[in-house]
Amino acid sequence: MNIYLDYQATTPADPAVVAAMQPFWTQKFGNPHSNHRYGWEAEAAVDVARGHIARVLNVQPETVVFTSGATEANNLALKGVMARADRRRLVTVSTEHSCVLETARFLESRGFDLTVLGVGSDGLVDLAALQAALGEDVALVSVMAVNNEIGVIQPLGRIAAAAHDADALFHCDAAQGFGKIPLDMDALGIDLMSLSAHKIYGPKGIGALVVRSGLDLEPQMHGGGQEGDGLRSGTLAAPLAVGFGKAAEIAAARMDKDRAHAEALWGAFLAALHVPHAINGSTAQRWRGNINLRFEGLDGDRLIADLRRVSISSGAACASAKGRHSHVLEALGLSRVQAKASLRIGWGRFSTEDEVRAAAAMIGEAVLMQRKTAA
């Protein structure tokens, strides 16, 4: 039995998504920007997909700007806003994804001011510290919805309110939250939101930046200006857009069911894990399709190597591939030794209770074996 429990890294495509995309590779292959029947057919399908995504967020379809993924969307949001803003400061959080933090540091290297706020041991933003950081020079606040390593859910409405009280914009990287938790952009006060298809059982290679009507962003790629009235250039991949739209439609219909399933698997996994452990990050304010466990004194990478039939990780896929330690766990106050003793485990729509129980048993065996070897 090979068990996939790395759903924060990526998700398997839903079969209905694959079926929806299929005609647009071969029969309905037109360029959605072409002015003829094939182009109109592809354009119409893209418009339907845009509508499905917009409905999940309670926004107008024209505010959805397709990108190559959440990394591009985050770059476009941060660079695009700051380039046109009168103010010079960007505020973000130490547990953000690297594509937000690295973009923020790039802007700092170009003369912008940057404030990176810490978090508590639970991984949540200190709202008092946020408010203290919000002066008249702040143009943009960027805070993610659901953390990709520890699954904590930030208080988005309160963060947005604080940003707006300072006349700043609020951007949210919602790659891990879109389709999993309710995200009404207007009700929450979110001005810009980044999305990714492959986190919600859609295809890799496509995401979106949702931009509140009236905002003026500097384009980061120049060319035909196909998306967002010139905001993003490049021929749109109609099959990927269709897949993203279908994934969003399914996620909206299954949101309550998927959440209940994730919570049930959380309970089943912990009930089957019979070795001492600690959970990194808040357990109350959390997406329960993610659990980040710490096994004190052990080596997480060695545990992963011993678990040949269970696919899990020690953190974000982009960091793990380069052998980098987790900046998220260190931001919680963990030492590097403690961070290295931690594993990220994620389940989702296609995971079963038998799988998570079996994985818990195998992880427990690997932990006991490593402790025995170290003794």
Which residues does the annotation mark as catalytic?
Answer: 318
- How far is the C-alpha of 67 from the C-alpha of 236, rounded, in Å? 8
Please state the length of the chain: 375
Crossing angle for the helix pair 238-272 and 353-374, to the nearest 10 degrees: 60
What are 66's strand-pairing partners? 208
Burial 287-301 (b: 16+ CB within 10 A, else e): bbbbbbbbbeebbbe
- How far is the C-alpha of 246 from the C-alpha of 255, rounded, in Å? 14
Burial (CB < 10 A; 0-12, 13-18, 19+), residue 335, is: exposed
Residue for token digits 């998927």? Answer: 258
Q: Look up residue 227 and give its DSSP letter.
A: B
C-alpha closest to that of 2 among 326, 373, 348, 308: 308
What kind and span of H or E run contains 54? helix 37-57
DSSP, residue by residue, 256-325: HHHHHHHHHHHHHHHHH--S--EE-S-SSSB-TTEEEEE-TTS-HHHHHHH-TTEE-BSS-HHHHTTT--
CB-based contacts of 345: which residues, under 8 Å, 6+ apart?
5, 6, 269, 290, 291, 292, 293, 312, 359, 363
C-alpha closest to that of 189 among 209, 204, 214, 169: 169
CB-based contacts of 246: which residues, under 8 Å, 6+ apart?
14, 16, 17, 20, 21, 49, 52, 202
